[in-house]
Structure 1
Amino acid sequence: MLSTPTLPATPDAAGGRPALSVVLITLNAAAQLRPCLESVGFADEIVVVDSGSGDGTQALAAEFGARVLHQDWLGFGAQKQFAVEQATHDWVLCLDADERVTPALAASIRAALAAAGEAAPAAYRFARCNRFLGRYLRHGEGYPDWSLRLFDRRRARWSDDAVHEKVIADRPVGTLAGDLLHDSADTIAAYLAKQNRYTTLAAEAAFAAGRRARARQVWGSPLIRFIKFFVVRRGARDGLPGFIHIAIGCFNSFTKYAKMIELERQTAARAPSPEARTPAATSSPESRP
């Protein structure tokens, strides 16, 4: 059973629909934040939880009327859930600073809130369209990249995962029309550095949960992933940017399992040897003087 905090009901916005809080977590996001905030002018509140920016992110958010709070980094899932709990309203839309709500998606969100009720979904997903090497990917791994970001916090919450966090809801999830645009400005070097951090966190989380990697996963997982996204989901139609995006995803899969094997071997190397675990032999009564 999903456990969510007990929160008081919040007032409706004008027009009778539930009020909406847009929630973001940020760190040095000033270069990307403005288009994101401009795209959510339909929200009743914007909450920005910053973990120590030094580039003017907080001041930029305040220009848009956002309520800006500081919270030291807790991990992706915990940080996002903390931000959700700071919102004034129960319906929340969670975004990243490098994402933008399209007019079509904004219209779908308003319609979903207008129809909110006991019989309606408590959470909604929508397609995210990722920009990579200057091109919006429309196939493969880059699209539709379903993202569950709009939900009633009394019925759903973020998981506590340090990476690959997800929203967990206690009733069926609805689907909205319209795209969320992801305009990452990362260079390939920055993107690879980010993926290296993510694969480390994913490997550590899987290992801590008791999962163990096998050799067939190290070589088989990247191959299966390539066939799925490049061939079956037609990633080839996104040209060279699509190929590079999928190739990096395949390498990420390889790297995660390789890191899990490394963790397993490091743990085994630190374990006491069988000889060290065997109690020291004692002299038999017959051998004593």
Structure 2
Amino acid sequence: MKAPRHAYPYEAPPGSAAVAGVLPLACAVITHDEADNIGRCLASVAGLVCEIVVVDSGSTDATCEIAREYGARVIHRDWAGFAAQKQFAMDQCSQPWLLSLDADEALEPAARAAIETVFAGGGEPTHAGYEINRLTWYLGDWVRHTWYPEWRLRLVRRDRAAWREYNGHDLLTVHGETGRLSGHLLHYTYRDLEHHMQQSIGYARMSGRQLAESDRRIPVSKLVFSPLGRFIRLYLLKQGWRDGWRGLLLAFSSVMSAFLKYAFALEARQARNRAKNSPGDDS
């Protein structure tokens, strides 16, 4: 299955009553300069959810205008970190159930149908949350091995769910049993290789600094064994080689990210220790 980067079958016309769903379900999305993605994301939930909340941290492109065309309530909030921003977006929703999407994600029709099945009959869903398998579009093709399967908790009972930071990433958690849905969460990731490398370095720096601020030991051996473990897991165990040159590129970018995470952590820990041990200015 190949598709151009912006293709999606649910394109509702601008200005239409896109939020007309009958399910007790809200969709929350955080954005910053996502004009290339937000229309596809919100089109995939049009007519499924009855509330869309977009929390924007200061976009300078047409993100907010496009979101409003799909019936979203757009709220400005200065950037507070991924988990905090997503938690705020969830708290602004009024429906008992939440579908949390990233702006560069979209529901595949089969996943959309699976969500409808969860609520079929009007009864309460049997689980507190549901995972959807994410399929990534990367540099012109779908990645079916290196980053796949990738189950993500996205549909949750709102009063049982919370966002938290974990290992430098945002993590949606839910109190109660979870199930899995059929279909895919389509992930239209990095624009190009440069964007990928920039994002990888940024995440590695953030993860490294968080590690440095914790009480965990940071052995130098992690600079070797963590990247090696990443390569073995992605390229060999998950058969990333079957994704061709994309799989090799993704495996080595993960190696780089793992190395940089611990390099940044060691650098930040050294700087913190130096500041702690340096004598104060008595003048």
Task: Return the TM-score normalized by structure 1.
Answer: 0.84
Query: 1:114-263, aligned counterparts within 5 Å?
Result: 114=120, 120-140=126-146, 142-160=147-165, 163-263=168-268
The code of the aligned residue for 1:180 comes to L
Number of equivalenced pairs? 259
CA distance 1:116–1:204, change in 2 (3 Å):
farther
Specify which of 104, 114, 126 is matched with residue 108 of structure 1: 114
Q: Does 1:53 align with 2:59?
A: yes
In the TM superposition, residue 204 of structure 1 has moved relative to its aligned partner by: 1.5
Specify which of 77, 87, 107 is matched with residue 81 of structure 1: 87
Larger Rg: 1
Q: Is the 1:131–1:183 contact (alpha carbons within 8 Å) kept by the matching residues of 2?
A: yes
The code of the aligned residue for 1:19 comes to P
Task: Return the TM-score normalized by structure 2.
Answer: 0.86
Specify which of 93, 98, 118 is matched with residue 99 of structure 2: 93
The code of the aligned residue for 2:158 comes to R
**Partner SS for 1:182:** strand
Q: Is the 1:229–1:246 contact (alpha carbons within 8 Å) kept by the matching residues of 2?
A: yes
Q: What is residue 269 of structure 1 aligned with on the other side? A: 274
- Alpha-carbon RMSD across the aligned residues, in angstroms, is 1.9
Deviations 1:149-174 (A, max 9, x none): 11011111111459411112111211
CA distance 1:210–1:102, change in 2 (3 Å):
same
In the TM superposition, residue 272 of structure 1 has moved relative to its aligned partner by: 2.7
C-alpha distance in 2 between matches for 1:204 and 1:105? 36
Out of 155-164 and 260-269, give the one that drifted further: 155-164
In the TM superposition, residue 250 of structure 1 has moved relative to its aligned partner by: 1.3
C-alpha distance in 2 between matches for 1:176 and 1:251? 33
- What are the ranges of 5 or more consecutive residues in structure 1 without an aligned counterpart? 1-12, 278-289
The code of the aligned residue for 2:126 comes to A
In the TM superposition, residue 225 of structure 1 has moved relative to its aligned partner by: 1.1
**Partner SS for 1:93:** strand
The code of the aligned residue for 1:89 comes to Q
- What are the ranges of 5 or more consecutive residues in structure 2 without an aligned counterpart? 1-20
Deviations 1:251-273 (A, max 9, x none): 10111011111112212222336
C-alpha distance in 2 between matches for 1:240 and 1:26? 31
Q: What is residue 6 of structure 1 aligned with on the other side? A: none
The code of the aligned residue for 1:139 comes to H
